[in-house]
Amino acid sequence: MNEDIKITLPDSSILSAQKGNSVYQIIGNIGKGLQKAAVCAKVNAGLVDLSYKVNTDINLSVFTFDSPEGKNAFWHSASHLMAQAVKRLFPQAKPAIGPATDEGFYYDFDLDKPFTPEDLLKIEAEIQKIEKEDLEIIREEMSRDEAIKFFESKNETYKVEILKELSNGPVTLYKQGEFVDLCRGPHVPGTSYLKAVKLLSIAGAYWRGDEKNKMLQRIYGIAFPDARSLKAHLAMLEEAKKRDHRKLGKELDLFSIHEETGAGLVLWHPKGTRLKNIIETFWREEHYKNGYEMISTPHIGKAQLWQTSGHLDFYNENMYSPMDIEGQDYYIKPMNCPFHLMIFKSKGYSYRELPLRWAELGTVYRYERSGVLHGLLRVRGFTQDDAHLICRPDQMPEEIDRVLAFCLYMLRSFGFENFKVYLATRPEEKSVGEESAWKNATRALEESVKRAGIKYEIDEGGGAFYGPKIDIKIMDALGREWQCSTIQFDFNLSERFELSYIDKDGKKHQPYMIHRALLGSMERFIGVLIEHYAGKFPVWLAPVQIILINVGEDVRDYTEKLAEKLLLEDIRVESDLREETIGYKIRDAISKKVPYIGVIGKKESELSTISIRKRGEKDSTAVKTDEFLHMIHNEIKDRK
């Protein structure tokens, strides 16, 4: 007689299944459509393959490709499929690692022969062949020592190196046909699931990201359950190439990064600095309106400061080596927090003076390996849109509500309307504080998100070492997610720095603290803005709002005087007075993606008008100068 077990689903509904059934069989009892779309599952707290056998009562969540967990398993499976194809075509290639990423997957190979674009086509053809073979993907366990012997027999030196660093105990391998890889999983059930795979590019990558190690060859790819989804994604990638902020940054003369000055260190050109200042000015004005005060702190601090804050214990790998100043170690700051707390400690506060809301556009420096640096999106020196709220425990819920509303207002002001919100919980490793404090802090953040009526997801273990947080990811014009905003609870630093205020009982009490960044790194945010708008900034943000073009030398003086008038009206204007054809100057102005082009000829100078051509339009309209000023000021006011 078969024994039934209880399966609890995410909506708390319960179904029965036979003991020993696989997750795949259990999903079939929920629905055949879900069974067909399923990629992997979560049994209690762990991700598993669909072949996982269930022998006790469980909590079950099912993940399709549309979920982050499903994409990760699908793309990781595709990386194994690609590695199998490479090994068939290039048996001498040594696989290193092949993880899923946020945008697909890659696999690193050690091969003396450089891969070529033609090789990618051959590998794709082999991938299609293996997909049609419908090889079952099987999870196997063996001891670490057995696995070392196994991979040594296959001359898989990179797998052996990884294994030797693991503690004794069982390890998992995944097998599909003749190909076996070291992996935790989960994976899709078979290669036939991977119907639409495209290899995108080849790059060099140091083993483990260390420049001292051997340079490997990295193949990037993407995969989808069907060809139509792949086709749509490739079209999006083509559009993304056109919007690449590195390409547009150069074309629009906004910024540059040079090896001579240092990788990951941004040089802002005049137009880029103008854009950055526009954003920062708006940021400061809105903060003052919302009850914040501005503070400013140094770029370096003594080692003792970072020891007290916990950064030397928990964040040291992201900090630069210390510098010796008069026999004392100083570190360039990776964060602004400790300085803000020292300002608080410089005087005593009573409960009546709280909350304090202190904000700073502070430049910080964090070590990033050269392999992950990416234009403005991943840099080593950046300006952090930072603030710390210090309050009484009873003020915490209102302060979280306020900062969450402020955050969404700021993002919407820059044209972002679609968000994904994540509640990040305590990391498994490298965290401080009592479990009860973490639970209370997490609950406070979660209740705030619920009060705001915002849909959210749980990011298990994604919190900072000092507390849980709310992460807000914005969706750009291409539907891509970007991490910018974060609201972090901190019950740790107040204790480490021995912060206190005098409460109504006349005794000292420890305040609560919230770290928050609305836009995040200004460099990263501007990179996202460039790609979101494809360089076509709205009028209020555009570094140059109008380019004036003269038609002939006889209207040069009028054009220059008009430009002066616009400048006095706070309009960002440039004049193109070159002795070029009008057609050439208009085409050049269009390439700069400015919101308006103003053409000045004899007729315009006589009638005191401007022939205005709006970005994206072919026709021009003659308007009086004052009429144009009224129109553009309204657009700036409405942030259009």
**ω into 355 cis (within 30 of 0):** yes
pLDDT digit string (tens) for 250-303?
Answer: 999 999 999 999 999 999 999 999 999 999 999 999 999 999 999 999 999 999
484 is catalytic: no
Residue 247: inside a domain: no
Are 318 and 381 contained in the same domain? yes
Contact (CB, 8 A) for 267 and 258: yes
End-to-end CA distance of the chain: 71
Q: What does pTM read for this prediction?
A: 0.82
471 is catalytic: no
Can you give the CATH number for the domain in which 388 is found?
3.30.930.10
469 is catalytic: yes
pLDDT digit string (tens) for 20-61?
Answer: 999 999 999 999 999 999 999 999 989 999 999 999 999 999
pLDDT digit string (tens) for 551-565?
Answer: 989 999 999 999 999
455 vs 492, residue with greater confidence:
455
Are 316 and 457 contained in the same domain? yes
| Rounded mean pLDDT, 458-464 | 84
Residue 529: inside a domain: no
Are 554 and 437 contained in the same domain? no
Are 213 and 356 contained in the same domain? no
CA distance 18 to 3: 6
Residue 532: inside a domain: no
Residue type, 615: R
- The residue annotated as part of the active site, out of 469, 585, 592, 593, is 469
Alpha helices by DSSP H, listed for 487-601, are 493-496, 522-533, 556-568, 582-591
Are 503 and 579 contained in the same domain? no
Q: Give yes or no for residue 636 having a pLDDT over 90.
A: yes
Q: Give yes or no for residue 484 having a pLDDT over 90.
A: no
The neighbouring-strand residues paired with 180 are 175
Model confidence at 2, pLDDT cuts 50, 70, 90, reads low
Q: Give yes or no for residue 226 having a pLDDT over 70.
A: yes
Are 328 and 452 contained in the same domain? yes
| Rounded mean pLDDT, 376-402 | 92
Are 372 and 460 contained in the same domain? yes
Q: Specify the number of domains making up the chain.
A: 4
Q: Residue 632: which domain range?
A: 546-637
Other CB atoms within 10 Å distance of the CB of residue 579: 8
Are 59 and 171 contained in the same domain? no
Model confidence at 454, pLDDT cuts 50, 70, 90, reads confident
Residue 266: inside a domain: no
Q: Which residue has the tokens 């100068």?
A: 625
- The residue annotated as part of the active site, out of 87, 357, 366, 613, is 366
pLDDT digit string (tens) for 95-110?
Answer: 999 999 988 999 999 9
SS3 at position 266: coil
Give the count of alpha carbons within 13 A of 156, CB side only: 22
Return the DSSP state at 511.
P
Q: Which residue has the tokens 């050690």?
A: 110
Residue 541: inside a domain: no
CA distance 87 to 127: 11
Which two three-digit tokens encode residue 92? 């001498």
Residue 258: inside a domain: no
Q: Which of 630, 609, 635, 611 is nearest to 621 (CA)?
A: 611
- The residue annotated as part of the active site, out of 42, 159, 218, 337, is 337
420 is catalytic: no
Which among 522, 554, 585 is the end of a domain? 522
269 is catalytic: no
| Rounded mean pLDDT, 471-500 | 88
**β pairing state of 58-64 and 381-391:** unpaired
Share of the chain above pLDDT 90, in %: 80
- The residue annotated as part of the active site, out of 392, 426, 515, 572, is 515
CA distance 602 to 609: 10
Which among 43, 64, 85 is the end of a domain? 64
Are 300 and 401 contained in the same domain? yes
| Rounded mean pLDDT, 136-161 | 95
Tally the residues of the chain: 640
- The residue annotated as part of the active site, out of 42, 76, 388, 516, is 388
Are 102 and 53 contained in the same domain? no
| Rounded mean pLDDT, 70-94 | 97
515 is catalytic: yes
CA distance 484 to 376: 13
337 is catalytic: yes
Q: Which of 237, 234, 154, 225 is nearest to 194 (CA)?
A: 225
Residue 536: inside a domain: no
Can you give the CATH number for the domain in which 25 is found?
3.10.20.30
Residue 112 neighbours by CB under 8 Å, 6+ apart: 92
R_g of the chain, CA atoms, integer Å? 29
Instruction: Kindly list the strands in the beta sheet with 179-182, ordered across the sheet, starting from the edge strand earlier in the chain.
Output: 138-143, 170-176, 179-182
Residue 503 neighbours by CB under 8 Å, 6+ apart: 350, 351, 392, 509
Are 59 and 81 contained in the same domain? no
Are 450 and 472 contained in the same domain? yes
Model confidence at 139, pLDDT cuts 50, 70, 90, reads very high
CA distance 176 to 127: 13
**β pairing state of 300-302 and 323-325:** unpaired
Q: What is the DSSP string of 314-346?
A: HSGGGSPPPEEETTEEEEE-S-SHHHHHHHHHT
Can you give the CATH number for the domain in which 579 is found?
3.40.50.800
Alpha helices by DSSP H, listed for 154-269, are 157-164, 227-243, 245-251
Residue 286: inside a domain: yes
- The residue annotated as part of the active site, out of 108, 181, 385, 386, is 386
CA distance 563 to 548: 7
Q: Which residue has the tokens 């989804």?
A: 229
Q: Which residue has the tokens 């409460």?
A: 503
Can you give the pLDDT at residue 1? 46
Contact (CB, 8 A) for 500 and 509: yes
Can you give the pLDDT at residue 510? 92
Model confidence at 373, pLDDT cuts 50, 70, 90, reads confident
CA distance 210 to 206: 6
Can you give the CATH number for the domain in which 147 is found?
3.30.980.10
Can you give the pLDDT at residue 495? 86
pLDDT digit string (tens) for 329-368?
Answer: 999 999 999 999 999 999 999 999 999 999 999 999 999 8
